[in-house]
Structure 1
Amino acid sequence: MNLKIQQFVIIITSLLFASCRDTPTILSQIDAKHLVIDSTFVGIDSIEIFVAPYRERVNQTLDSTLAYAPTTLTKTDGEYNTSAGNLMADIILEEASPIFKSRTGKDIDFVLMNHGGIRSTISKGKVSARTAYEVMPFENSIVVVELTGKSVLEMIDFLVHSKRAHPIAGMQIVLDANNSLASLKIQGETFDVNKNYFVATSNYLVTGGDNMGFFKELIGTTDTDYLIRNAMIDYFAKVDTINSPVDDRFYKQQ
């Protein structure tokens, strides 16, 4: 009798185990439907009502005036440096320097960004958080890399021959009439090829963006965990008026 009970239990257990096993799922069909979303699209009232307060709050935050620009700043108003480019580079130098200093005890020597990273002008008038999102819509963060003097010279050669006003701060590049390097100063001091320099830039450029190959030779990297856009917003919030003229940080002698 006991043997029959054991056999019964084994059979039932086996059946239950078999029924609990996962059966493979096989995709048998994919259906697709084309939905046109244009000016004729009608929103769903219930969703619109639900989203409205959140949309209102976001717009209020983005559009609140943080500062004022007395003139329009663009990335096309100079040959070697521009008003918008200078502003972005200066902001990164000012806002990221205390973070890098607190983490490493060292100073950022200069900043290099890319001309194409500036996606909008800053129009004359009020400047808001939305302005920062328009200028820098990407989730790029500020990274500080250590480069040798040799790599910095490769960087300068790239800037000279790129024919684009890539934003820089903390350094001055002067070309002679033949487009050769006449002078290079970093933080007001003559460049020293035997010295290493700390360069603030974006994580996009460090990973090979815009063909800036000299970053491949970096010695070390410090990620500030600070979005460029957030640095812009923080800067706008603490200044009253934004002034960023085209200057002599990069120019050609006549």
Structure 2
Amino acid sequence: MRLTHLIFLLYFFNLLGCKHPKLELTKIEGKQIQITDTLPVDSKIESYIKPYRDHIQKDLDSILAYSANTFSKSDGKLNTAIGNFMADAIYSEANPIFKKRTGKNIDMVLLNYGGIRSVLSKGNVTKRTAYQLMPFENSIVVVALKSNQVDRLVNYLIKKKRAHPISKLKLVINENDEIVEAKIKDKDIKSNKIYYVATNDYLYNGGDSMTFFKTNDSLYVLNYKIRNALIDNFRKVDTINPVIDDRFIQIK
């Protein structure tokens, strides 16, 4: 019995002796490692990814169309050739999808000036061109707007006086910024009518202060990226040669 007590006491004191001191974090140190071409290349990793890289590069550089000139978003004040091309391309590619799903047609397209991220250079047009023009993952949505919301949309364009890409909307203002003409598909904007406006998800969620999209009557998500629509359009048009036209002008 005494031996048992002795063993118990030895075990207890042994546990006390093994108690670890409490550790506290007092400092964290780190350094920035810049990723540059001076870093050594791992030959095994490089050989593994090379076939994939070559395939992607070949796909991006495949020629889809030809641009007759170099087009920039700074070429015009209220509408530009490149903006007109992009908005018209979105209408052309998205409307058949919307029509098939809903039985309705898109009435107009509105994109944003800031979403055009590159010039469209003269020469061969490739998939890479589409990624340069639209590097973001923005997708096409169609919003059902009441006529009073369309009025707010028109007033927004007049107030901003920026070449936001539009298609199927014609807007003429005078020197006092008053509306001379505002038509959708060559018809006057009617009250108590629903208009189906194609845009991107960024603008629908209030980007560029376009708050007129909410509250909308209905929202249709096409699951179709702006960039992919441009690529599909490139494949169809052969030669790209858009112009600055009269879809949004100011008369003096």
Give yes or no for TM over 0.5.
yes
Pairing 1:114-125 to 2, within 5 Å after superposition: 114-125=112-123
**AA at the equivalent of 1:64:** S
Q: Which amino acid aligns with 2:173?
A: L
How far apart, in 1, do the equivalents of 2:140 and 2:146 lie?
Answer: 19
Gaps of 5+ in 1: 1-26
Aligned pairs, how many?
A: 229
RMSD across aligned C-alpha pairs, in angstroms?
A: 1.6
Q: Which aligned segments of 4 or more residues in structure 1 are displaced greater than 2 angstroms?
A: 27-34
Amino acid at match of 1:108: I
- Counterpart-to-counterpart distance in 2, 1:53 and 1:148: 52
1:147 and 1:123 map into 2 onto residues whose CA distance is 35
- What corresponds to 1:71 in structure 2? 69
Instruction: Name the CA distance, whole Å, in 2 between partners of 1:163 and 1:169.
Output: 16
The 5-angstrom pairing of residues 104-119 of structure 1 reads 104-119=102-117
Q: Tell me how far apart the structure 1 counterparts of residues 159 and 232 of structure 2 sit (CA, whole Å).
A: 34
Instruction: Specify the structure having the higher radius of gyration (Cα).
Output: 2
Report deviation, 1:43.
1.6
1:126 is matched with 124
d(CA) in 1 for partners of 2:231, 2:28: 45
Taking the TM superposition and a 5 Å limit, the aligned residue runs for 1:150-165 are 150-165=148-163
Match of 2:44 in 1: 46
Q: Is 1:80 matched up with 2:82? A: no
Q: Percent identity over the alignment?
A: 49
Query: CA separation in 1, counterparts of 2:78 and 2:219?
Result: 28
Give TM-score, length-normalised by structure 2: 0.87
Residue number in structure 2 paired with 1:173: 171
Shift of 1:121: 0.6
Q: Which residue of 2 aligns with 1:220?
A: 218
Q: Which amino acid aligns with 2:100?
A: S
